[in-house]
Structure 1
Amino acid sequence: MSDMLKPLPWQEELWLRVTTLVLQNRLTHALLIAGPRGVGKRHFAKALTAFIICEARSGYACGQCRSCLQFTAGHHPNFVHLQRDVDDKTGKEKRDISIEQIRLLGERLSLSSYYGQAKVAVVDPVDALNLNGSNALLKTIEEPPANSYLILISERPQALPATLRSRCQRFRMAAPPREQALAWLGDSADAVDALTQAHGAPLRARELMDSEHLQRGRKWAAELSAIADQRRDPLAAAAAIGKDDAAAFLEWLLTWLSLQLKEQVVRGGNATGIDTLIQETLLASRRLGSNANPQLVVESLLILWWRVGRVGKAA
């Protein structure tokens, strides 16, 4: 059996709860799986979908039946995976899942089922729906087609209309204990660094380990240390970071500053400067999203860091 058809180690308790509901025919028509990025929401949804439509399941989907083979190949007739469409002009994902997509989803779920199995649709992320799309989905939830399930995935469930949330069976997926996450990642220095930067989310940490993010983050941390020690000009450091990496730098900087803030609080130091920098970085991220000049945005933050000086101390 493929590991993709089994839950992740820290999901076993939730898996037992949900699959027991499936076997007892007590699983609600609409499920909302919520939690931070990188904790395995989509992995769980995939494994659960396979379990629901499997023709020979036991504790997990069997991985060998007709339904499992079609599902893992990506073309099971009873399964719909709804995501943002890609814009033909830009090649990028659209901002919203459209109401047209939701209507087509309703039509698909109303069709006859194959093999006598349930129909399953995953909406990912459900918080990408606009108001019209949410209302259309709500109608499908309130008038569900026979023998069908909706699995909704969200990192921002608070952004969903209360009427939609109230009609779903909600499952909260949190980051696992650090020791369990490190056992899954492999207890190395890179794993420790990546898990810290990922705020304890193992799948996000694995993404960081598989990319150049860790090495780049260490380089940026060295730049900040040199600026704080007055050994590096902030404008030169901003040029070294470059405008193309501005967005990635701001995302990394927020995590790095949050860690510095925690350390200062533990030591009882003055964290005012770091707190100010965090607020300015959040504002800078929004400005960057509004087409501000990336180089100037990074320069302004590094100049502020240079003025603050060493962590927690005024220059």
Structure 2
Amino acid sequence: MSGADWNRPLWNNVLERRRRGAMPHALLLSGPAGLGKRAFAAGLAALLLCENGGDGACGRCRGCLLVAAGSHPDRVEVNLELREDGKTLRTEVTVDQIRRLSQRLSMTAQFGGHQVALIDPADLMNTSAANALLKTLEEPGAGTVMLLVSDQTSRLPATIRSRCQRLDFVLPNAADAMAWLKAQGVDGAAQALDAAAGNPGLALELARGGGLALRTEVATDLGQLWTRKAVPAEVANRWAKGDGERRTWFAAQLAQAEAAAQARGARGPLALTAISDFNKLAQWFREAGRVREQLRTPVRSELLLLELLLAWRALAPAARRA
């Protein structure tokens, strides 16, 4: 199997379908980034195009060698393309990409077996692209298997979701996640896993990419805003200039962890004074999620962040604010 061991049940599920000759024409691989969906999709595509077959691709046949070289004629992938400037990626999968895919899949497989299409990220198809994909999903060619990879499946139209068999990728238990991180050579695996809310792939990214230091900085900012030792506009401008989306995610996660700790009578990661209104904190948490979504669009990010941080400061108990 390709990918993490915690996805073994999903892999076995697909193998069983394949043995019964009941492989779906479209699979939706759904779940947060960092859980191995993309390695799973690549491994499944390789297996379907392998000329020997088994519980995994053999790695030696003509099909496997062509997949490894990126030149298998019956494997096609749709990703975010570069803009006309040739430097920056588009923010959505376009209708022209899906039309080219559909035209390709309408032809017979060159090697006489499966045709495999990977669409990643499927949830970033625009409305026209999603509509164009529907016809192919409704009338798939013989041997066609489409693998749609999605980190945020709720963004996909219901018409797309209903035409796919769904594989849900979920967080592994803490012991399996810790063992995997240690096998990757991560120092401070427990801290990284806590910062990633139990997501091992994200924990690995944080540990290797400086994310833990950024999370600590966000925690400091939230604490100082709570005690009025920081100016919201200054913090908002700094966040807007450097990874505002991730900072907002950390802020929401830290606030949620703080609330959970205080509800247990424990000390939270922000070590705040007592939270007096958990309902308002829950509203703020939802607002942080909304802001994070909007930060992916062309907006005045510093204004969005300022509004969010002002709302955070307003949550502090009246005595502390005074």
Moved more, 88-97 or 8-17: 88-97
Contact residue 222 and residue 251 of structure 2 kept, 8 A: no
Paired residues, number: 311
Moved more, 295-304 or 46-55: 295-304
Give the alignment of 1:72-221 within 5 angstroms: 72-89=68-85, 91-186=87-182, 190-221=188-219
Select 1:281's aligned residue among 269, 281, 288.
288
- C-alpha separation in 1, matches of 2:78 and 2:155: 19
Supply the AA of the counterpart residue of 2:91.
Answer: R
In structure 1, the residue matched to 2:271 is none
Change over 3 Å in CA distance of 1:159–1:230 after alignment to 2: closer
Q: CA deviation at 1:49?
A: 0.7
| 3-state secondary structure, aligned to 2:198 | coil
Contact residue 260 and residue 274 of structure 1 kept, 8 A: no
Q: CA deviation at 1:254?
A: 1.7
Q: CA deviation at 1:99?
A: 2.1
Q: CA deviation at 1:275?
A: 3.2
Contact residue 45 and residue 116 of structure 2 kept, 8 A: yes
In structure 1, the residue matched to 2:269 is none
Gaps of 5+ in 1: none
- C-alpha separation in 2, matches of 1:16 and 1:283: 37
Change over 3 Å in CA distance of 1:101–1:59 after alignment to 2: same
Contact residue 26 and residue 137 of structure 2 kept, 8 A: yes
Change over 3 Å in CA distance of 1:38–1:239 after alignment to 2: same
Q: Does 1:45 align with 2:52?
A: no
Q: CA deviation at 1:27?
A: 0.7
Supply the AA of the counterpart residue of 2:257.
Answer: L
In structure 1, the residue matched to 2:270 is none
Moved more, 145-154 or 89-98: 89-98
Instruction: Summarize deviations over 1:190-241 as a string: whole Å, max 9, x none.
Output: 3223223323222122111120111121133234334445555555655665
Q: CA deviation at 1:166?
A: 2.3
Moved more, 37-46 or 272-281: 272-281
Select 2:261's aligned residue among 257, 263, 273.
263
In structure 1, the residue matched to 2:54 is 58
Contact residue 190 and residue 214 of structure 1 kept, 8 A: no
Identical-residue share of aligned pairs (%): 31
Moved over 6 A (4+): none
Q: CA deviation at 1:159?
A: 3.1
Q: CA deviation at 1:172?
A: 1.3
Contact residue 84 and residue 94 of structure 1 kept, 8 A: yes
Contact residue 259 and residue 275 of structure 2 kept, 8 A: no
- C-alpha separation in 1, matches of 2:16 and 2:156: 27
- C-alpha separation in 2, matches of 1:140 and 1:8: 31
- What TM-score comes out, normalization by structure 2 length? 0.83
- C-alpha separation in 1, matches of 2:312 and 2:68: 49
- C-alpha separation in 1, matches of 2:303 and 2:158: 40
Give the alignment of 1:219-238 within 5 angstroms: 219-229=217-227, 231-232=229-230, 234=232
Q: Does 1:6 align with 2:19?
A: no
Q: CA deviation at 1:120?
A: 0.4
- C-alpha separation in 1, matches of 2:306 and 2:54: 58
- C-alpha separation in 2, matches of 1:135 and 1:39: 28
| 3-state secondary structure, aligned to 2:77 | strand
In structure 1, the residue matched to 2:268 is none
Contact residue 51 and residue 63 of structure 2 kept, 8 A: yes
| 3-state secondary structure, aligned to 2:65 | helix
Calculate the aligned-residue CA RMSD, in Å: 3.0
